Structure 1
Amino acid sequence: MSHASDAAATPDRPRKKRNPVWAAIREVLIIVVVALVISLVVKTFFFRAFYIPSGSMEQTLQVNDRIFANLMAPGPFELSRGDVVVFRDEEGWLPPIPSPESNAVSDFFTFVGLLPDPSSQHLIKRIVGMPGDTVECCSADGRLSINGVEITEPYIYPGDNPSDSEFTKTVPEGKIWVMGDHRGASADSRFHEDLQDGFVDLSAVEGRAAVISWPLDRLGGISGEDEVFAGVPVPANQ
């Protein structure tokens, strides 16, 4: 009984010698292609890099931080009060930006999702009100309340008030009410009442900020501060 491999070992048909240089190049190319495919899949479906250009989320996020956002929230994972979210500027909260300078290296890393896209207009804020919630500020002792329950917000920038302007907002279906942690330096929902009454479409949310990736001394997760909102009841209309 013979095997297919026997013929290749006979004197009449000597085994072809592999070119070690080409074999090494081919392996490197395969690794690069696989890495690119994985990066594109991750960028498209799982995580994406973003850059923090302002201090509106201090102290949670600092100027020049790089973060990764979980693109599966909203989606397979739901959003909740306290989540820090990245959303597209569909309502024109930000002024237009000039076309950024680029080079082949940065364009490549942006394409595969390892660097943020500098041409995209995104904002990052914390969700304070979900659909159906009534968000109000401020109470007699200066705190913000949700559905009639006052909350204490330890993530607010030291020295800031929960809000220097008073408001009462009931969040419509499909919208969220967002605020920056640096309340005195954040042009958030409070400052855009002329645009959808300050609300952000849930459909504009790109993802939930999950990890600070740079600088390395700030590497770590980004908290949704669940304990702050634990006592908030379900809206009466739900």
Structure 2
Amino acid sequence: MRAVAGRRHLLLVVALIPLLVVLALRAWVIEPFTVSSDSMEPTIESGAVVLLYKPSAAAGGIRNGVIVAFTNPIDGRTAIKRVVAGEGQVVAIRDAELYVDGVAIPEPFIDHSRIDATYFGPVEVPAESIFVLGDNRGVSIDSRDFGTVPLTAIQGTLLTGQK
């Protein structure tokens, strides 16, 4: 009787280990995320499932050009946008062209004809913050609207969907 109970206990433990590993990975390492906005089109379509890599935020993996997930300061929901500038950099948009520290940044993933005559800034990014923009600039609500994003609001970087 004890042998049968011991085997059942062992089988239960063996079955629970993979479940615990998956839950731990999802909580601290990689989490699937469904995009619910068209603000990153055409790079990431609305409805796409992407992977959020969580350790990158803590490990200093936030750099210009990376797509990040963060807590939106407007509604508290998770948002995804592209980092275009970091601490101390100056951001401006002149006739739909992005400038960081006075240098035009090539953005082949942006349809500039759809946002012609767009102007913004210049704005300096404060300490411990980033400036984010959606790739679909005509519809994106981003740092032009809600300001810079504190590094503490970053949930991670996207592993998929980046061009």
Name the TM-score class by shorter chain.
0.7 to 0.9
Correspondence 1:153-232 to 2 at 5 A: 153-157=107-111, 159-161=113-115, 164-192=118-146, 198-211=147-160, 222-223=161-162
Q: Which residue of 1 aligns with 2:29?
A: 46
- Percentage of pairs with the same residue: 26
Q: How many residues are treated as equivalent by the alignment?
A: 163
Q: Say yes or no: does 1:123 pair with 2:79.
A: yes
More strand by share: 2
TM-aligned CA deviation for residue 159 of structure 1: 3.9
Could you give the per-residue CA deviations for residues 181-226 of structure 1, whole angstroms, max 9, x where no partner exists?
000110111122xxxxx11111000000112xxxxxxxxxx33x6x
Whether contact under 8 Å (1:137, 1:163) holds in the other structure is no
Match of 1:59 among 39, 42, 55: 42
* Backbone CA RMSD of aligned residues: 2.5
**Runs of 4 or more consecutive aligned structure 1 residues displaced over 4 Å after TM superposition:** 25-28
Gaps of 5+ in 1: 1-15, 95-119, 193-197, 212-221, 226-238
Structure 1 Cα separation of the partners of residues 116 and 130 of structure 2: 18
Paired with 2:117 and 2:142, the residues of 1 have a C-alpha distance of 11
What is the CA-CA distance between 1:158 and the residue it aligns to? 6.8
What is aligned with 1:71? 54
SS at match of 2:87: coil
TM-score by structure 1 length? 0.61
* Distance in 1, Cα, partners of 2:111 & 2:25: 33
Give yes or no for contact 1:135–1:168 (8 Å, CA) kept in 2. yes
Which of 75, 80, 92 in structure 1 is aligned with 2:63?
A: 80
For residues 123 and 55 of structure 1, the distance between their equivalents in structure 2, rounded to whole angstroms, comes to 11
How does the TM-score come out when normalised to structure 2? 0.86
C-alpha distance 77-131 of structure 1, shift in aligned 2 (>3 A) = closer
Post-superposition CA distance 1:90-130 (Å, at most 9, x none) = x2x23xxxxxxxxxxxxxxxxxxxxxxxxx71111000111
Rg comparison, structure with higher value: 1
Unpaired runs of 5+ residues, structure 2, are none
Distance (whole Å) between structure 2 residues aligned to residue 205 and residue 163 of structure 1: 31
One-letter identity of the residue aligned with 1:53: S
Q: Distance in 2 between matches of 1:76 and 1:153?
A: 26
